[in-house]
């Protein structure tokens, strides 16, 4: 990746980290509800989403903030949504776990584990039947990959030859249970071959590696029309749901993964390669912090929805 591309990746990853740290702080102050964060998984979000085109669609899960911000979402509108304000992406009705944005091509965020896997085949089939170009990216975790709907979705996508990029963000933890307690295999990429589709695995703490793997997978999907499974080996550096002290996590394991913090790794790479210096990256960090402070102010100032909005956006 070129210097300007990597610096942009650092800026977007820093924005995601700052946003989620802000949400954690606000939740601790009881200014908004607790939420599921994806702190530690920023390289996965930025690496994959930056490889997509504007015509491609996204379906994601309950750890969706990184995917939305990587797609270009406004942190002020996201915070307003989490606060239940009318200025949010869904008018304050979705909270943090259901944000969607038609303008960004984010079809849905499902808080039901694996829910997006059930729906992505329909979205991709509709695009195919309508003759619409583009890949449909579906983000899910290793916990969802232990469910029957994962295999049903892959099987249908393979049989119907649907242009789906399945992205398993294997963050090692399924709520409060380590993945080694729920699967004998060392991951999920092996399931791809069983359904007759391509599969690949990448270091999810390295944004450059993720971007390259995603570009390769997307290129294959565009060329063949067939689905592909990309397993991103990453780690959730905070607990399942805020607040969470992670008392169930082996401290040594957490320390090992903290040493591979994707922001720290990218910062080091940029400096050691001469693409940027400490001052450049410090300036980005400051600018991101200022942007989040302003976003909090905008979200706070946004009004709550009026009572008449209670029955709008409801379909029968």
The percentage of the chain sitting over the pLDDT mark of 90, rounded to a whole number, equals 75
Lowest mean pLDDT among 23-32, 39-48, 128-137, 149-158: 23-32
Mean pLDDT along residues 115-134: 95
Residue ranges in the chain assigned as alpha helix (H): 3-28, 42-49, 65-70, 75-82, 115-129, 148-160, 190-194, 207-224, 251-258, 262-272, 278-301
Mean pLDDT of all residues belonging to the chain: 93
Query: Residue 313 pLDDT > 90, yes or no?
Result: no
> What is the rounded distance in angstroms from the CA atom of residue 179 to the CA atom of residue 288?
34
The pTM is what? 0.94
Residue with the two structure tokens 């949504």: 81
Mean pLDDT along residues 215-221: 97
> What is the rounded distance in angstroms from the CA atom of residue 153 to the CA atom of residue 114?
10
pLDDT confidence of residue 2 = 85
* pLDDT per position as a tens digit, 14-58: 999 999 999 999 988 988 888 889 999 999 999 999 999 999 999
Query: Residue 161 pLDDT > 90, yes or no?
Result: yes
Return the higher-pLDDT residue of 9 and 312: 9
The percentage of the chain sitting over the pLDDT mark of 70, rounded to a whole number, equals 99
Which residues does 129 contact at the CB level (< 8 Å), separation at least 6? none
> What is the rounded distance in angstroms from the CA atom of residue 32 to the CA atom of residue 63?
16
* pLDDT per position as a tens digit, 173-216: 777 787 777 777 778 999 999 999 999 999 999 999 999 999 99
Lowest mean pLDDT among 154-163, 231-240, 276-285: 231-240
pLDDT confidence of residue 271 = 96
Helix/strand/coil for 144: helix
Query: Residue 143 pLDDT > 90, yes or no?
Result: no
pLDDT confidence of residue 316 = 60
Query: Residue 241 pLDDT > 90, yes or no?
Result: no
- Report the Cα–Cα distance between both ends of the chain, in Å, rounded: 48
**Domains of the chain as residue ranges with CATH:** 3-298 (3.40.50.970)
Return the higher-pLDDT residue of 246 and 289: 289
Mean pLDDT along residues 245-264: 91
Return the higher-pLDDT residue of 193 and 239: 193
Q: Are 197 and 157 in contact (CB under 8 A)?
A: yes
Whether the link from the prior residue into 243 is cis, omega within 30° of 0, is yes
């Amino acid at each position: 990746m070129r210097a300007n591309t990597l610096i942009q990746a650092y800026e977007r990853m820093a924005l995601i980290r700052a946003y989620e740290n802000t949400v954690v702080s606000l939740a601790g102050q009881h200014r908004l509800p607790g939420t599921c964060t994806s702190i530690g998984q920023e390289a996965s979000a930025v690496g994959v989403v930056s490889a997509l085109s504007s015509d491609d669609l996204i379906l994601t899960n309950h750890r969706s903030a990184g995917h939305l911000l990587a797609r270009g979402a406004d942190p002020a509108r996201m915070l307003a949504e989490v606060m239940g304000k009318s200025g949010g992406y869904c008018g304050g009705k979705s909270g943090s776990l259901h944000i969607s944005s038609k303008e960004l091509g984010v079809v849905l965020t499902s808080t039901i584990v694996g829910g997006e896997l059930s729906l992505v085949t329909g979205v991709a089939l509709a695009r195919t039947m309508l003759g619409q170009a583009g890949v449909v990216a579906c983000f899910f975790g290793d916990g969802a990959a232990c469910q029957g709907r994962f295999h049903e979705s892959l099987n249908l996508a393979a049989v119907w030859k649907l242009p789906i990029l399945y992205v398993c963000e294997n963050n090692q933890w399924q709520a409060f249970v380590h993945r080694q307690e729920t699967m004998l295999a060392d991951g999920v990429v092996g399931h791809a071959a069983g359904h007759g589709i391509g599969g690949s695995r990448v270091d999810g703490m390295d944004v450059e590696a993720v971007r390259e793997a995603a570009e390769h997978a997307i290129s294959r999907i565009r060329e063949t029309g067939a689905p592909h499974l990309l397993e991103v080996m990453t780690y959730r550096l905070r607990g399942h749901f805020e607040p969470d002290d992670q008392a169930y996590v082996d401290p040594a394991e957490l320390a090992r993964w903290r040493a591979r913090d994707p922001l720290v790794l990218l910062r080091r790479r940029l400096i050691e390669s001469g693409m940027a210096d400490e001052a450049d990256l410090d300036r980005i960090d400051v600018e991101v912090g200022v942007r989040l402070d302003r976003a909090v102010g905008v979200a706070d100032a946004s009004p709550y929805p009026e009572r008449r909005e209670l029955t709008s956006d409801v379909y029968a």
